[in-house]
Chain A
Amino acid sequence: MLSFKNPLIKILLIGFIIRLVVGVFITYVIDIDYWIQISANVDAGMDLYEGTGYYYTPVWGYYVGFMTRIGNLFGIDMGYIFTDMIFSEEIQYRIITVPSVVYAMLIKVPLMLCDLVAGALIYYLIKRVTDNERKALIGCAIWIFCPLVIYVSSVQGMFDTIMVVFMLISLILLIEGKYFFAGAALSLAVFIKLFPILLVPVFVAYVLLKNKGNNKEMLMNLLKSVSGFVVAMLVVMLPTILTDSVSRSFSFFTTRMDSASSISSLADVFSYSTMTYLSPIIVVVCIVLAYYLYKSKRRNKEAALMTVCMFSLSLMFVLPALTQYYLIVVPFLAYFITTSESRYSRALLIVFTILIMLRFAQSNSMLLFSFFASMGWDISNLILISHSFEMNCYSLVLDLEVLFKVAIVAILALFAFKMNKRRLSNAED
């Protein structure tokens, strides 16, 4: 029974209230401007890739399309265009589209709800793996109150949290032996933002591991997973196949690859140019990690699965990562903090929080554009503050971000080393 005395419900409720308050007052306008563009394309009767502004695989576009149609039922205003600063020679972006608070919340509230669902799934997963209610609650609370998680859904309006929901559903269904649906859920996670594709070898290894000794069962379950993946993929991608826009649906990824030219300076090492060189290595390491899982002799196969999932996903952080990308490993950090390796996990969470603080500094007054504009207040001074910051401190903040991102990779490497040592000694289970 759902009851407000239930600690899980309390955690989720408090988390939701925090998000609502944060979400109303502060909005990172840059990403939501793109969602306005998708909404406008939908309003214009175009498909996701006919118009300009959508560069991801289609799943998130479908959600925005759905929310746009819901918003139209209530005739909500999407936002405002500010031309007040058009005569200022100092301002780089002279025309500014600012989402209305109502539109921003139309996008953000479903994402906030996704955060809550993900929190509940983390609770379920940790309880399933550890059989410990307290650990499960702590794990859930870590996710729900993590500043990174709150920022991504409630301030930025980015959709990584939906990817996390599908990934967790997939993981749970895999553990529960619902292979077809596990494959389908993983497919949806992948077609939201591609990163969970790193889990494919891990999932295959887990199915093989779980059915070791029974080749027929092993093959059947593998087939079920693959069928689930393919069916979901076809459902998601069919319209893009029929409208010949498959290549455009991957442009989020391919344009970054295209921008890769050569490494000519130290800064380039942390730029997208590294993708070209590192991507094949990452794939190989993922397969090696999956092989480790398959060969694992740990009695608690789920614990081994969680470890390998975390490190497979962490591999993408050697590539240039935007702050929201780190969301994908937070559920695993929550798991490790409550189970075994709390030291490294805590360190990572602290670094993630610092990154969010840097994000706040970077965005500064821009975060208030949406609220001020919706109240009918003049945002000219906010624009000037934002611009002044951009001119004076932006590169410094970016450099600091790079430092912390390097720190993340270093902590992860130490973490992996420690876990590997533990695996070899086979001490924990």
Chain B
Amino acid sequence: MLKTKNIMAVFAVFALVMLAGEVLIYAAPYSYDSDVVRTSDGLEYSVDSPISADYNIVALDNGDRVRIDRVYMYYDAGYPSINPIGEQGDFIKILEDESAIRGLSSMYRADADGILKVINDVSIDPRSVAVLMCSGSFPEVLYDGTEDSPILRWLGDGGTLIWIGGPMGSCYSDRDHMMEAEAGYEELFFGEGTGGSIRDDSELFIASSGQKVNPIDEALSIVMNDATYGVNTSVLDRVGLRYLPMGYISDSGFRCSAMIEVPGGSGMIMLFGTNLNQFYTEAVAQSIAAGLNYESELVGHQEGSLGSGKTVGDMRVPSDTNLTVYLYLEKVRLIYARTFSI
């Protein structure tokens, strides 16, 4: 029944299917296009998608803060750190991928000296730059547990620190040793009376109350329940700091994440109080791409399904504010996102 020519035919079929996949992926990849424009009573959006997907249009009033246009990601094997350097590398790689899908191209890796150079460069507007730390501890050249630390000065000048994977400010290191900051180090970042506001117990701590007060989370499909290094927002309330709560909150008052104003200046700390888990790269990328800050407010959200081809729609939003519109498509995972300032 079977002959050599049948075998060759089977081989040809398998090889052709493989080739078809190769060509489709590398020579004819999907491409998307989208646009959002303001109209007299709201906004009009258009999405050109080659496939059917679920869509979300999120309109945010991000206040007066300058949108971050560059992120420097700290990665330096020359300093001891709480999180292993391999895990940091994996996290950063995935974050780069997640950011690329969202149209964020200005993500750069930098070592401690590189970061120091950026934050000391007077020609760079600190308000447009973020420094991301996923090491769990600071290199001493940036932070040494004192108020004279360069990173604190830079935050006071309007810079943004994105922190994930450790108790922020608790540890720093020179090239050989890890050192602990004195208790109450939180006050260096959040001001007087905020000591003890960050959890520093490394045992996994799940925020399990189910209370989720921020509708922006929902609109951006951000899910966070790990509050191991979370922040006690009631302390921030007490000292009158503005912040945008993110993720769930524990019964003891620790929030997984928050975008927190730096006192006495225009800086911001995007604190992700989770462990360094690859799952949270989506939350970090989504927050950066949507331009979230402590002033952010949700002013409109529309979701639904769209078919392949061009889809046009409109949405009512307040006409008197500067808006950031974040548009994203999902098919279980996010496959496309773009941000528009209108």
Contacts and interface: CB of A to CB of B under 8 A. Distances in A.
B87 to A, nearest CB: 13
Q: Main SS of the interface on chain A? A: helix
A52 B94 contact: yes
B124 interface: no
B299 interface: no
Interface string A319-362: 00000000000000000000000000000000000000000000
B312 interface: no
* Range class of the A interface residue count: 35 or more
Interface string A166-208: 1001001100101001001100100000000000000000000
B179 to A, nearest CB: 28
A44 B11 contact: no
Interface residues of B, number: 49
B24 A43 contact: no
A311 interface: no
B231 interface: no
A162 B14 contact: yes
A63 B17 contact: yes
Interface in A219-267: 235-236, 239, 243
A88 B209 CA distance: 10
Contacts of A210: none
Interface string B175-204: 000000000000000000000000000000
A43 B248 contact: no
Interface string B1-19: 1101001101100110111
B29 A46 contact: yes
Nearest to B25: A65
A83 B217 CA distance: 14
A89 B94 contact: no
Given A40-B333, A62-B18, A45 B7 contact: no
Nearest to A124: B2
Nearest to B210: A87
Contacts of B1: 6, 8
Interface in A67-81: 67, 69, 72, 75, 77-81
A124 B7 contact: yes
A143 to B, nearest CB: 15
Contacts of A86: 223, 225, 248
B333 A36 contact: yes
A384 B10 CA distance: 45
Interface stretch (A115-123, A295-303, A393-401, A417-425): A115-123
B206 A94 contact: yes
Contacts of B19: 62, 235
Contacts of A78: 331-332
Interface string A43-66: 111111011100000110111111
A62 B7 contact: no
Given A75-B307, A89-B206, A178-B4, A48 B11 contact: no
Contact of B332 (A72, A80, A124): A80
Interface string B29-56: 1111000000000000000001111000
Given A6-B1, A86-B223, A62 B331 contact: no
A383 interface: no
16 contacts: A36-B333, A40-B331, A69-B24, A72-B52, A80-B332, A86-B223, A87-B210, A88-B208, A89-B208, A94-B206, A124-B7, A166-B11, A166-B14, A169-B14, A184-B15, A236-B22
Interface of A: 6, 8, 36-37, 39-40, 42-48, 50-52, 58-59, 61-67, 69, 72, 75, 77-81, 83, 86-89, 94-95, 97, 117, 120-121, 123-124, 162, 165-166, 169, 172-173, 176, 178, 181, 184-185, 188, 235-236, 239, 243
A-B pairs, top 5 by smallest CB distance, nearest first, are A62-B21, A66-B21, A40-B333, A65-B21, A44-B335
